[in-house]
Amino acid sequence: MSDKLSNAQIAWRAAQDIENEAYVNLGIGFPEMVAKFQPPGRQAIFHTENGILNFGESPAEGEEDWDLINAGKKAVTLKPGAAFFNHAESFAMVRGGHLDVAILGAYEVAENGDLANWSTGPKGVPAVGGAMDLVHGAKRVAVITDHVTRDGRPKLVKRCSLPLTGVGCVTRVYTSLAVIDIEGGRFVLREKLPGLSLDALQAVTGAELLLAGTVADLVVPEV
């Protein structure tokens, strides 16, 4: 599809729903981009599984301290009050329900909230990693993703065909075409690109989209 949001725009939209001072874990890769788009007057406290709380932006090139990295092995900076801890304490925070939000990528999201974001296939991630803890430990789990695969197949489906990361865990999906909530085991459309018809959106979605009130326009800045 030619008319769709970029990854940066999807990340921007997801960032707008993070409350001030929320404790947030961002998945490796694309979801890490959400940290760049904190709204004015709001600042999340970011957690990484390898043991840092309240890290900041990436350092300037050439100024990296490679003892300070996130779970994706990218260099980070520290904010005042940042803390270090070992993996056991980090996952105790996750499993103990101390994270407000986890934002992850996805291969597939099912209408009942099941998430598949790892695969044992060619070039797939070799293991589920900490995501299985995050999706059931965080108070809210959101997904950011393109609406379809590179070959045009829906990523929002009736049932996942890939290995599951978690069952019934996702509550909101931010895609390149829409913002969709998962309520009562169904996809509920909240926002869509203003130039995209409901029929066209449904045609690239693998399960029925329900309407609950007015569907807002998905409008984001150039970022």
The catalytic residue positions are 49
Do β-strands 156-157 and 78-84 pair in parallel, antiparallel, or remain unpaired? Answer: unpaired
Task: State how far the Cα of 204 lies from the Cα of 221, in Å rounded to an integer.
Answer: 24
Question: In angstroms, rounded to a whole number, what is the distance separating the alpha carbons of residues 177 and 163?
Answer: 25
- Helix %, strand %, coil % of the chain (to 5): 15, 30, 50
Q: Which residues pair with 48 in a beta bridge?
A: 52
- Residue 51: name the closest of 67, 35, 65 by CA: 67
Nearest-angstrom CA–CA distance, 129 and 87:
12
Distances in whole angstroms, Cα of residue 26 to Cα of each of 4, 34, 197, 217: 23, 8, 31, 26
What torsion, rounded to 10 degrees, do the Cα atoms 32, 206, 162, 11 define? 0
